[in-house]
């Protein structure tokens, strides 16, 4: 990062530190991954929170002097439609609800955590005009291991509108949180994503519920649907969860007052009855009460939300009700933010972030980001980097197995054409081969061996380029309008258009395909007797044995997936919102392609690794390379015809080890 990286951010990078400090300036890609994998907890830098607070107050002042897009106006094609100053809060709520229209499968928790980390850090950079309570709620969700339910489809690389709207409604309390209990879906068993670079793949202990009336054992595991055969487990797991988590009616915002805010946030009087909001201001289902029916919506005659007083249903032994101070109309007319640090916090549920009361301008400020796409890009960049580093060891083993020439990797060759990635790939193979002369038995080796640096190097460069872009975007304000640091102006701009990110992702996907194709070529070469001097397909059984023949099919099947992932998403086109938004970067699609490419590339490399190690075992003598010693000890022995799935699985698990050699 540049010289603006704070001391607090540098602390998070110290070895053994279990915190990642979010300060809007120094969040690195590696720290995004640590937060996504729950290997660290977030800590919000106080000075960064103050910066966000200044931006929030500046936005309120600027809104008095003129309309701000999305706050005093509609959005998209409605940009010129004015919004009455008295309706700005309700307008923001309508904006969140209307934009929470994502569809498709739920995004895996690991990716959602990366999104939360990046969005919190972006807001701490200042310039959004959002109230700081949203930042602390995002960080608290990471710390508490609870996450919004985010749908896969909805973004086009011009802002992750649907994902962040769903997140906003969850922060408000209208959508349920996804509890993270039991297995971590981003830390799967070896048989699922064995290549993953974490050093500890063992499932973590399932935390027990701390909610009143909740179960004392493991609760529902995200990513797994309990069926009828699991009915006792299901009933035990769901016993103490809110109604909306169980798919029952009554917990989806039906108790909203005046179609704007949930009644439990407001502490209204006159709530007596079976569905009454209890004294602490919480829905009954969150407290393990007998009744879980929705509270009836407040009518026009309801008590004002900002009027303190005894709560219906409260008892003398219960805790006093906490009332959220609402923005007085006079303050709203002046455009000044009413909440202050002295206001009481929103009532919360143990184990969940306290609900955040949105104010004028908060909705669009939260939506104006590609945080989900950036989080997905960060994870794909990290994971592909691990696999590319493992690729050096796999290529070195294959070169050794065919007695290939080291000429193509000579430092003198690459000094004449100083491409950084190409030179690095050649140097890594030289290092992993170790000292010694390798003249080779051929004048020239096939391309898979001879052109490895030229194909692999651009992928290394593409990873570095993507990392730089992700780190820039994660540490700068992206919001539209952008509040100037001195608070004197608001700029309407197109910084949300993620062309740099989309193009970098496309470049990486294409580059990975190039080097994966050579991996498949080396795999095929390892099965040719004329090149290796070994039996066809490295079979050692009776005549006609197939050996590793099937691995060519498996690798090429994965290669076909990589080819699909490499189709440039940036070539897409869309015209939206009455033609006002006549293009899109499609970075969101490119990021998903990169994530799919991770598993496919790991499979191709694993197939090559299995064949290379078998070939080296069949050759006389034992290679000196440390990579062979590691792989030989880890991979199954035996050359008889048998299913090779376990071999490929073990090889995939080994890739993260080879990446660290």
pLDDT, tens digit, 9 for 90 and up, residues 112-148 = 999 999 999 999 999 999 999 999 999 999 999 999 9
Q: What is the mean pLDDT of residues 483-503?
A: 90
Q: Say whether pLDDT at 404 is over 80.
A: yes
Average pLDDT taken over every residue of the chain = 77
Segments in 288-370 forming alpha helices (H): 329-334, 362-367
Based on its alpha-carbon atoms, the radius of gyration of the chain, rounded to whole angstroms, reads 28
Q: How far apart are CA 548 and CA 528, in angstroms?
A: 11
Which residues, other chains included, contact 540 with Cβ-Cβ below 8 Å and sequence gap of 6+? 547, 618, 639, 640
Taking residue 472's Cβ as centre, other Cβ atoms within 10 Å add up to 14
**Residues 612/397, Cβ–Cβ less than 8 Å:** yes
Q: Say whether pLDDT at 266 is over 50.
A: no
**Residues 498/157, Cβ–Cβ less than 8 Å:** yes
Q: How far apart are CA 473 and CA 57, in angstroms?
A: 24
Q: Say whether pLDDT at 44 is over 50.
A: yes
Q: How far apart are CA 533 and CA 556, in angstroms?
A: 24
pLDDT, tens digit, 9 for 90 and up, residues 160-198 = 999 999 999 999 999 999 876 433 433 333 334 555 544
Q: According to the model, what pLDDT value does residue 81 have? A: 84
SS3 call for 660: coil
Least confident of 81-95, 244-258, 454-468, 500-514: 244-258
Instruction: Write the DSSP assignment of 53-94 as a string of letters.
Output: HHHHHHHHHHHHHSPPTTTTB-SGGGTTSB--GGGHHHHHHH
658: closest CA among 197, 188, 200?
197
Q: How far apart are CA 358 and CA 614, in angstroms?
A: 61
131: closest CA among 336, 281, 329, 427?
336
pLDDT, tens digit, 9 for 90 and up, residues 501-552 = 999 999 999 999 999 999 999 999 999 999 999 999 999 889 999 999 999 9
Q: Is pLDDT larger for residue 156 or for residue 222?
A: 156
**Residues 418/426, Cβ–Cβ less than 8 Å:** no
**Scanning the structure block, which residue is given the tokens 């509890």?**
179
Beta-strand relationship, 19-22 and 41-44: parallel
Q: According to the model, what pLDDT value does residue 194 have? A: 54
Q: Say whether pLDDT at 240 is over 50.
A: no
139: closest CA among 121, 125, 161?
121
SS (H, E, C) 393-425: HHHHHHHHHCCCCCHHHCHHHHHCCCCHHHHHH
pLDDT band at 440 (very low <50, low <70, confident <90, very high): low
Q: According to the model, what pLDDT value does residue 80 have? A: 73
Q: According to the model, what pLDDT value does residue 75 have? A: 80
Q: How far apart are CA 231 and CA 137, in angstroms?
A: 34
SS3 call for 42: strand
Q: Say whether pLDDT at 204 is over 60.
A: no
**Residues 12/20, Cβ–Cβ less than 8 Å:** yes
Q: Is pLDDT larger for residue 302 or for residue 71?
A: 71
Q: Say whether pLDDT at 446 is over 80.
A: yes
Give the range with max mean pLDDT: 58-72, 151-165, 269-283, 479-493.
Answer: 151-165
Q: According to the model, what pLDDT value does residue 439 have? A: 60
Number of H helices, E strands in the chain: 22, 10
pLDDT band at 69 (very low <50, low <70, confident <90, very high): confident
Q: What is the mean pLDDT of residues 579-601?
A: 92
Q: According to the model, what pLDDT value does residue 269 have? A: 37
Domains annotated on the chain, with CATH: 7-242+349-367 (1.10.275.10), 371-476+488-659 (1.20.200.10)
Q: According to the model, what pLDDT value does residue 88 have? A: 81
Q: According to the model, what pLDDT value does residue 643 have? A: 96
| Residues facing 491 on adjacent strands | 482
Q: Say whether pLDDT at 42 is over 90.
A: yes
Instruction: Write the DSSP assignment of 180-210 as a string of letters.
Output: --SS-TTS--TTTSTT---S--SPPPPPPP-
Q: What is the mean pLDDT of residues 203-218?
A: 33
Least confident of 287-291, 320-324, 399-403, 598-602: 320-324
Backbone torsions φ then ψ of 78, nearest 5 degrees: -95, 20
Backbone torsions φ then ψ of 73, nearest 5 degrees: -140, 170
Q: What is the mean pLDDT of residues 348-370?
A: 89
Quick one: what percent of the chain has pLDDT higher than 70?
Answer: 71
- Residue 373 DSSP code: H
pLDDT, tens digit, 9 for 90 and up, residues 280-297 = 333 333 333 333 333 333
Q: What is the mean pLDDT of residues 391-407?
A: 96
pLDDT band at 340 (very low <50, low <70, confident <90, very high): very low
Quick one: what percent of the chain has pLDDT higher than 90?
Answer: 56
Q: According to the model, what pLDDT value does residue 391 have? A: 98
197: closest CA among 402, 387, 367, 420?
387
Q: How far apart are CA 76 and CA 641, in angstroms?
A: 62
pLDDT, tens digit, 9 for 90 and up, residues 610-653 = 999 999 999 998 888 899 999 999 999 989 999 999 999 999 99
pLDDT band at 14 (very low <50, low <70, confident <90, very high): low
Q: What is the mean pLDDT of residues 240-254?
A: 38
pTM (2 d.p.)? 0.76
Q: Say whether pLDDT at 401 is over 70.
A: yes
Q: Cis before residue 265, ω within 30 degrees of 0?
A: no
448: closest CA among 404, 478, 411, 415?
404
| Residues facing 583 on adjacent strands | none
Q: How far apart are CA 498 and CA 515, in angstroms?
A: 26
Which residues, other chains included, contact 300 with Cβ-Cβ below 8 Å and sequence gap of 6+? 258
Q: Say whether pLDDT at 600 is over 90.
A: yes
**Scanning the structure block, which residue is given the tokens 């989900």?**
372
């Amino acid at each position: 990062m540049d010289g603006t990286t704070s001391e607090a951010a540098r602390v998070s990078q110290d070895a053994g530190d279990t915190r990642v400090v979010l300060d809007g300036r120094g969040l690195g890609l590696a720290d995004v991954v640590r937060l996504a994998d729950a290997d660290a907890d977030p800590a919000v830098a106080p000075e960064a929170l103050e910066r966000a607070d200044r931006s929030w107050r500046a936005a309120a002042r600027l809104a008095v002097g003129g309309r701000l897009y999305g706050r005093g106006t509609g959005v998209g094609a409605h940009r010129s439609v004015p919004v009455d100053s008295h309706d700005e809060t309700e307008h923001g709520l309508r904006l969140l609800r209307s934009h929470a229209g994502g569809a498709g499968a739920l995004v895996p928790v690991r990716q959602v955590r990366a999104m939360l980390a990046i969005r919190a850090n972006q807001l701490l950079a200042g310039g959004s005009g959002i109230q700081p309570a949203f930042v602390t709620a995002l960080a608290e969700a990471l710390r508490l291991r609870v996450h919004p339910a985010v749908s896969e489809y909805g973004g086009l690389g011009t802002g992750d509108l649907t994902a962040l709207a769903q997140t906003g409604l969850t922060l408000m309390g209208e959508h349920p949180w996804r509890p993270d209990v039991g297995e971590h879906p981003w830390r799967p068993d070896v048989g699922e994503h064995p290549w993953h670079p974490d050093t500890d793949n063992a499932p973590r202990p399932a935390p027990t519920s701390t909610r009143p009336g909740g179960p004392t054992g493991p609760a529902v595991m995200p990513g797994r649907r309990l069926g009828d055969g699991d009915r006792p487990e299901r009933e035990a797991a769901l016993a103490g969860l809110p109604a909306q988590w169980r798919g029952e009616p009554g917990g989806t915002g039906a108790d909203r007052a005046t179609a704007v805010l949930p009644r439990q946030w407001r502490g209204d009087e006159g709530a007596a009855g079976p569905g009454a909001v209890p004294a602490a201001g919480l829905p009954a289902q969150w407290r393990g009460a007998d009744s879980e029916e929705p509270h009836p919506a407040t009518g026009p005659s309801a008590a004002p939300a900002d009027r303190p007083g005894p709560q219906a249903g409260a008892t003398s032994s219960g805790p006093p009700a906490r009332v959220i101070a609402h923005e007085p109309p006079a303050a709203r007319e002046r455009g000044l933010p009413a909440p202050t640090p002295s206001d009481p916090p929103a009532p919360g549920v143990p184990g969940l972030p306290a609900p955040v009361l949105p104010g004028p301008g908060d909705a669009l400020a939260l939506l104006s980001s590609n945080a989900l796409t950036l989080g997905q890009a960060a994870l794909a960049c990290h994971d592909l980097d691990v696999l590319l580093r493992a690729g050096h060891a796999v290529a070195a083993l294959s070169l050794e197995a065919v007695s290939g020439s080291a000429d193509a990797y000579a430092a003198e060759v690459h000094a004449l054409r100083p491409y950084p990635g190409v030179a690095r790939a050649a140097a890594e193979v030289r290092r992993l081969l170790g000292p010694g002369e390798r003249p080779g038995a051929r004048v020239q080796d096939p391309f898979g061996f001879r052109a490895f640096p030229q194909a692999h190097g651009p992928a290394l460069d593409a990873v570095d380029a993507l990392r730089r872009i992700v780190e820039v975007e994660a540490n700068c304000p992206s919001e539209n309008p952008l509040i100037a640091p001195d608070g004197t102006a608001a700029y309407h701009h197109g910084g949300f258009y993620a062309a740099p990110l989309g193009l970098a992702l496309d470049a990486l996907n294409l580059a990975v395909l190039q080097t994966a194709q050579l991996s498949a070529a080396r795999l095929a070469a390892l099965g040719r007797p004329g090149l290796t001097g070994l039996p066809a397909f490295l079979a050692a059984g009776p005549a006609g044995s197939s050996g590793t023949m099937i691995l060519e099919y498996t690798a090429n099947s994965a290669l076909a997936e990589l080819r699909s992932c490499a189709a440039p998403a940036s070539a897409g086109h869309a015209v939206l919102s009455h033609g006002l938004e006549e293009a899109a970067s499609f970075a969101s699609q490119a990021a998903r392609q990169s994530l799919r490419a991770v598993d496919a590339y790991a499979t191709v490399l694993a197939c090559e690794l299995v064949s290379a190690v078998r070939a080296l075992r069949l050759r006389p003598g034992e290679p000196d390379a440390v990579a062979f010693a590691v792989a030989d000890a880890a991979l199954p022995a035996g050359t008889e015809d048998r299913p090779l799935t376990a071999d490929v699985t073990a090889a995939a698990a080994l890739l993260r080890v080879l990446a660290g050699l």
